[in-house]
Amino acid sequence: MEYAENILGTIGNTPLVKLNTLTKELPCLVLAKYETFNPGNSVKDRMAVKMIEDAEADGRLKPGGTIIEGTSGNTGMGLALAAIVKGYKMICVISDKQSKEKMDILRAVGSKVVVCPTNVEPDDPRSYYSTSKRLAEETPNSWYVNQYDNLSNTAAHYESTGPEIWKQTDGKVTHFVVGVGTGGTISGVGKYLKEQNPNIKIWGIDTYGSVFKKYHETGIFDENEIYPYITEGIGEDILPKNVNFDIIDGFIKVTDKDAAIYTQKLAKEEGMFLGNSAGAAVKGLLQLKDKFSKDDVVVVLFHDHGSRYVGKMFNDEWMRERGFIEDNAKSAADLISH
Ligand code: PMP
């Protein structure tokens, strides 16, 4: 018989899938590391389990404890699944810009959800950074995960995602392109791939309203770069310890509108029903066109599943309200030719 001991045993070993339509104008092979095949439907299952196991190993997390995290949803899902299997309680602190679907999904897997305002400074006591820290102080036998600065996050991708991509491409990967939030994915995969072949280029997808690109290019943390944006999961108004700027060759910024439109296009033209950071990543790839040549093998990582965005990028009313779609157009994806 062949079976996993529990649901956590199905994490990882996700497929690589060729993009056939949206990237036709690129000269190279584009392969998507398709992370929605993880049991929590996102890449974050990998780092959630690794962060928990490392905390168990050094005693930060004790039997029967409560796990507390500020999470946009995907990390919370991974942590919640692991908490169920391992017998912990789970509290997710989430900002109010996140989709209702994400909050409902977290509650469905037994997590408490605390919602905080998005448009406050990180050090404001109402922010989700501050609220998570405060809850951790107030809750007995609790552990605050802090995915931004917890380096087990990067380690998970160094140990699993990176080696999988190297093996699946038979060492032929030339570029890795991925959205950056906490930085765990890009830093772990990027470090592993550069150790195998230092010529591999690592590109981060950033959003308008985030500090990463400017900081990478100038070393300046420019507060003028920070303003509210719609894209979920990528971009930050802080510099997480998990972003290893040294292994990143460059960042490219994608607009909220383009990310939303390309998320629709991925579903309609590739049959890939994914979250908005996948749309941002594909548009970023197209913006990077000049960097690629014929024999390149470009791997792009798709973080999460479209079901979490049905009330947003997949809802034409929502798209219209934000000016992402013209009044007389059927849907945003019909508007743009590629
Ligand atoms: N896309 C989505 C949908 C995410 O939830 C995240 C995690 N914040 C990312 C991209 C970025 O991944 P990382 O945190 O590893 O940089």
Q: Give per-residue pLDDT as tens, 311-326.
A: 999 999 999 999 998 6
Considering only residues 118 and 5, tell me which one the structure prediction assigns the higher pLDDT: 5
Q: Give per-residue pLDDT as tens, 112-158.
A: 999 999 888 878 999 888 898 899 999 999 999 999 999 999 999 99
Q: Which residue's CA lies nearest to atom 2 of ligand 1?
A: 233
Sheet order of strands, 66-70 included? 112-116, 89-95, 66-70, 142-144
Q: Which residue's CA lies nearest to atom 10 of ligand 1?
A: 233
Q: Measured from the CB, is residue 181 less than 6 Å from ligand 1? A: yes
Give me the helix-helix angle, 100-108 and 74-86, nearest 10°. Answer: 0
- pLDDT of 245 > 90? The answer is yes
Task: Return the active site residues.
Answer: 44
Q: Measured from the CB, is residue 40 less than 6 Å from ligand 1? A: no
Choose which residue among 277, 302, 307, 309 to substitute to test ligand 1 binding: the one with the highest number of ligand atoms within 8 A of its C-beta.
277
Dihedrals phi, psi of 317, to nearest 5 degrees? -65, -50
- pLDDT of 296 > 60? The answer is yes
For 200-232, the three-class secondary structure string (H helix, E strand, C coil) is CEEEEEEECCCCHHHHHHHCCCCHHHCCCCCCC
Q: Give per-residue pLDDT as tens, 203-235.
A: 999 999 999 999 999 999 999 999 989 999 999
Identify the pLDDT of residue 337: 46
**Contacting residues for 248 by C-beta, under 8 A, at least 6 apart:** 180, 186, 187, 190, 202, 203, 204, 216
Identify the pLDDT of residue 128: 81
- pLDDT of 101 > 90? The answer is no
Q: Which residue's CA lies nearest to atom 7 of ligand 1?
A: 233
State the pTM of this model: 0.94
Give the span between the Cα atoms of 118 and 281, in whole angstroms.
23
Q: Which residue's CA lies nearest to atom 9 of ligand 1?
A: 233
Atom of ligand 1 minimally distant from the CA of 157: 15
Whether ipTM > 0.95 holds is yes
Taking residue 323's Cβ as centre, other Cβ atoms within 10 Å add up to 9
Q: Measured from the CB, is residue 69 less than 6 Å from ligand 1? A: no
Give the span between the Cα atoms of 92 and 98, in whole angstroms.
12
Over range 107-111, report the average pLDDT. 95
Q: Measured from the CB, is residue 74 less than 6 Å from ligand 1? A: yes
Identify the pLDDT of residue 329: 63
Q: Give per-residue pLDDT as tens, 12-29.
A: 999 999 999 999 999 999
Choose which residue among 36, 38, 43 to substitute to test ligand 1 binding: the one with the highest number of ligand atoms within 8 A of its C-beta.
43
Identify the pLDDT of residue 302: 98
Identify the pLDDT of residue 96: 87
In this structure, are residues 52 and 67 in contact, taking their beta carbons and an 8 Å threshold? Answer: yes
- pLDDT of 74 > 80? The answer is yes
**Ligand 1 geometric centre to CA of 186 (Å):** 10
- pLDDT of 338 > 50? The answer is no
Q: Give per-residue pLDDT as tens, 326-335.
A: 656 666 666 5
Identify the pLDDT of residue 325: 87
Cα distance between the two ends of the chain: 47
Over range 236-251, report the average pLDDT. 97
CA distances (Å), origin 265, targets 277, 283, 306, 337: 13, 10, 12, 10
